[in-house]
């Protein structure tokens, strides 16, 4: 299996280096020269969205909670459809008019340099943890499936992702994503019938599992489902990485078709890791950790060739998401912070060179951070929660009403973040309203939306 993965990794790096020769400017690096049609936009979005959470994470959720694990990817798909038809076309028109490269460019123009700087700094720090988490995911799956030590797995993931992305930025990663997407879909589609057959089909799963809630679409509970919707739906239409890819579209039609296809595929794909997780629980209910469900299914429920393809699919899923994280890091550190606050007069050529060097440096930092951290899943959840809490209200209200103010943006973001952190670390992480329980991120985003609406109503023209 390991030799198969190494060959696959070499192909990815070689393709990235070849395509990277076409990246001659910062525009090529950040927005691919505004060249993406609907097909290329679809592949680069869906490859980014089918990452560790959508594969290992959802399989683990399904192993524990059953069919209701669908809500994780389902919420992501809903957010992608909102990006396709509401947020994406609107912000793309503004970005093309002003030649924006990143979401922070828009926030600077719409609100203030101070607000965009706050968001960029928070995104940069959190995104390093997010990148380290992807590297840990790559290392973990290689360790379990191919006996690769953690250190070597982290380095392999960092080398592959960093080299092909640094070569050509978004332009290179988009073409590499085409291969990654094909491997992801092939690996999981082929794996599904094997694990179903091994477990005796859906009837076999039902006979092995007695809990009725395991087959209930809402079995995971209203608190978890509302939390997924509130955290993940906004994350997939406000994410700086995804919006940056939308900026690369050549026209609005490409955005609507490409992004909508991405959302629909997510909604359908969500069923596959759920089936794998449930089938694994039916045959191996005593796993010490739920996140062992996917590699266990690969090793025990599939023939070697199918397991190898499935492993390559997981590796592709992790790497394709990691390159999007690197894209966010380069945008935040170089374009949003260095160019805006330190060197506004930087030339286009130096901006490109600085972005490439920054990507390599972030790859090295990600390796050290991944090796120091034993578990980063909770930190990643906090990152996604804070992104939704801090960005949803300023972005949505900023796009669709002129009354949204800089003061309102600051107050909504800071109050939502403060409440989320307080409930998570010092208060009660769940607010029981009697008829429903809301988790910390749900309360934080509801507060941020309320504060923004109050600031709009009270604003004097």
Say how many domains are in the chain: 1
Query: Could you tell me if residue 410 is inside a domain?
Result: no
Residues 267, 268, 273, 277, CA torsion sign: positive
pLDDT of residue 25: 65
Measured distance CA(143)–CA(134) in Å, rounded: 14
Helix (H, G, I), strand (E, B) or coil at 101: coil
CATH number for the domain harbouring residue 184 = 1.20.1730.10
Query: Could you tell me if residue 432 is inside a domain?
Result: no
Q: What is the DSSP string of 129-196?
A: HHHHHHHHHHHHHHHHHH---HHHHHHHHHHHHHHHHHHHHHHHHHHHHHHHHHHHHHHHHHHHHHHH
Tokens 């440096």, located at residue: 361
Query: Could you tell me if residue 306 is inside a domain?
Result: yes
Query: Could you tell me if residue 269 is inside a domain?
Result: yes
Measured distance CA(447)–CA(281) in Å, rounded: 39
Domain holding 14, by residue range, is 2-377
pLDDT of residue 375: 46
Query: Could you tell me if residue 438 is inside a domain?
Result: no
Q: How many CA atoms lie within 13 A of 59 on its CB side?
A: 26
Query: Could you tell me if residue 383 is inside a domain?
Result: no
Q: Which two tokens stand for residue 57?
A: 């994470």
Measured distance CA(188)–CA(127) in Å, rounded: 27
Query: Could you tell me if residue 461 is inside a domain?
Result: no
pLDDT in tens, the chain (461 residues): 566 667 766 776 676 666 666 666 666 666 667 788 999 899 889 887 887 678 878 898 999 999 999 999 999 999 999 999 999 999 999 999 998 988 889 999 999 999 999 888 877 777 777 777 778 777 767 776 677 787 888 888 788 777 766 665 666 666 667 777 788 888 888 889 999 999 999 999 999 988 888 999 999 988 889 988 988 899 899 988 889 889 989 999 999 999 999 999 999 999 999 999 999 999 999 888 787 788 788 878 988 888 777 777 777 766 766 766 777 777 778 888 888 888 888 887 788 788 778 878 887 887 887 777 654 455 566 667 778 899 999 999 999 999 999 999 999 999 999 998 899 888 888 888 877 889 888 999 999 999 999 999 987 65
Provide the whole-model pTM: 0.84
Query: Could you tell me if residue 67 is inside a domain?
Result: yes
- The CA R_g of the chain, rounded to the nearest whole Å, is 21
């Amino acid at each position: 299996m390991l030799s198969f993965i190494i060959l696959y990794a070499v192909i990815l790096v070689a393709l990235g280096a070849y395509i990277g020769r076409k990246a001659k400017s910062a525009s090529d690096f950040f927005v691919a020269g505004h060249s993406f049609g609907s097909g290329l936009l679809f592949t680069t979005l869906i490859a980014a969205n089918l990452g560790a959470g959508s594969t290992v994470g959802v399989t683990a959720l399904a192993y524990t909670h059953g069919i209701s694990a669908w809500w994780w990817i389902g919420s992501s798909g809903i957010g992608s459809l909102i990006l396709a038809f509401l947020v994406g076309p609107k912000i793309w028109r503004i970005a093309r008019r002003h030649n924006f490269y990143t979401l922070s460019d828009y926030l600077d123009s719409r609100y203030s340099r101070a607000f965009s700087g706050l968001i960029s700094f928070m995104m940069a720090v959190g995104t390093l943890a997010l990148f380290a988490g992807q590297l840990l995911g790559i290392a973990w799956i290689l360790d379990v499936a191919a006996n690769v030590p953690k250190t070597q797995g982290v380095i392999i993931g960092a080398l592959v992702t960093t080299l092909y992305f640094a070569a050509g930025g978004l332009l290179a990663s988009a073409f590499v994503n085409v291969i990654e997407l094909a491997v992801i879909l092939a690996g999981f589609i082929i794996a599904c019938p094997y694990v179903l057959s091994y477990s005796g089909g859906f009837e076999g799963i039902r006979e092995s599992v007695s809990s009725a809630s395991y087959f209930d679409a809402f079995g995971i509970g209203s608190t978890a489902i509302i939390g997924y919707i509130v955290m993940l739906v906004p994350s997939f239409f406000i994410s700086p990485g995804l919006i940056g890819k939308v900026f690369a579209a050549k026209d609005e039609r490409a955005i609507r078709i490409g992004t909508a296809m991405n959302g629909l595929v997510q909604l359908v794909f969500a069923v596959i890791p759920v089936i794998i997780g449930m089938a694994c629980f039916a045959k191996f209910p005593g796993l010490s950790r739920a996140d062992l469900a996917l590699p266990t299914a690969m090793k025990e429920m599939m023939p070697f060739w199918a397991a190898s393809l499935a492993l390559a699919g997981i590796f592709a899923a992790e790497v394709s998401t990691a390159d999007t994280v690197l894209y966010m890091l380069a945008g935040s550190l170089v374009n949003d912070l260095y160019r805006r606050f330190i060197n506004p007069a930087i030339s286009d050529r130096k901006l490109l060179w600085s972005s490439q060097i920054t990507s390599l440096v972030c790859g090295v930092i990600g390796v050290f951070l991944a090796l120091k951290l034993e578990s980063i899943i909770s930190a990643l959840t906090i990152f996604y929660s804070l992104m939704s809490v801090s960005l949803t209200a300023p972005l949505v209200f900023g796009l669709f009403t002129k009354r949204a103010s800089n003061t309102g943006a600051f107050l909504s973001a800071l109050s939502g973040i403060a409440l989320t952190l307080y409930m998570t670390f010092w208060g009660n992480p769940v607010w029981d309203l009697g008829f429903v329980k809301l988790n910390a991120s749900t309360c934080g985003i509801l507060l941020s939306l309320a504060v923004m609406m109050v600031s709009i109503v009270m604003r004097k023209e």
